[in-house]
A and B are shown apart, each in its own frame.
Chain A
Amino acid sequence: MLRRGDFVLCNFPFRESSGPGPSPHIALCAATGRARDVTFAIVFYTTSQTDYQGSRRPRQYLFVNQARAMELGQKIAFHVDASRIARLPLTADYFPEMAGTAVRARGHDPDLVTRAEERLMELIAAGFEITKVDATIRSGR
């Protein structure tokens, strides 16, 4: 079963299209849960785009250096993006390494989830607009 703090492969969706994203990407699991008869995971997006324009790192990014990244099963440094978060059904469509109810974890860091949640709350408090990308409404289900 997926756990809070697991790094997993995820077909993280896009704003402009419905359904799973076209290719797998590492995401950080923040929570699991249940709605009606659906089990789901809440995941933060991660990105290896660690260079950015300007002199300051955008505050939505939590930087993980290469040494720590390798401890977490990654090859290179990355950011956890506290401003991109998804609630996704726990299915192989969204989590391609899912087998039964288990999802292969590449690494595990629950403290990083806590930091990402704190950063997310800071962003909201600072006036970042919450933009819902609601595939269930758009698809008419």
Chain B
Amino acid sequence: MGDLAQIEIERDVAEAAARRAAEQGLTVTEYISLLLRRTFERAPGEQSVLVYDHVDDGGEFHIDREPNEDNESYRRRSELYGNLFGRRG
């Protein structure tokens, strides 16, 4: 989690965060940090699809066909993911 800083928040919020953190097997620090980091990913009111790409493929890739998948379904999925993760302008 990196460096830590201390802040004060309202008690009921802290208690709710502690419950949620426990449900997810996280510390309160981890839980609140992750929650805020996700919130910061978008500006207020931003309507976007965030596409995280951590594969360096040079623009060429294929997805695996599902067992018994028909051509139309595979074509549709390939087109969707090709548009999201395909070669960059």
Contact = CB atoms under 8 A, between A and B. Distances in A.
Interface of A: 4, 12-16, 19, 21-23, 25, 30-36, 38, 40, 42, 47-49, 60, 75-76, 82-89, 94, 110, 117, 120-121, 123-124, 127-137, 141
B75 interface: no
B50 A87 contact: no
Nearest to A59: B47
Which 8 A-B pairs rank lowest in CB-CB distance, beginning with the nearest?
Answer: A35-B57, A35-B61, A86-B52, A33-B63, A136-B56, A15-B41, A133-B52, A31-B63
Interface residues of B, number: 37
Contact of B53 (A21, A30, A86): A86
B11 interface: no
Contacts of B58: 35-36
Contact of A132 (B47, B51, B60): B51
A131 B37 contact: no
A135 B54 contact: yes
Given A19-B54, A31-B63, A120-B80, 9 more contacts: A13-B52, A13-B54, A30-B81, A48-B24, A76-B23, A123-B49, A132-B51, A136-B54, A136-B55
Interface in B11-59: 20, 23-24, 26, 30, 34-35, 37-38, 40-41, 46-58
A13 to B, nearest CB: 5
B1 interface: yes
Given A14-B37, A137-B88, A117 B77 contact: yes
A120 B84 CA distance: 11
B72 interface: no
A75 B24 CA distance: 8
Contacts of A85: 49-52, 84
A29 to B, nearest CB: 11
Contacts of B51: 85-87, 130-133
Given A34-B62, A38-B57, A49-B35, A23 B23 contact: no
A91 to B, nearest CB: 10
Given A31-B81, A35-B61, A38-B57, A129 B40 contact: no
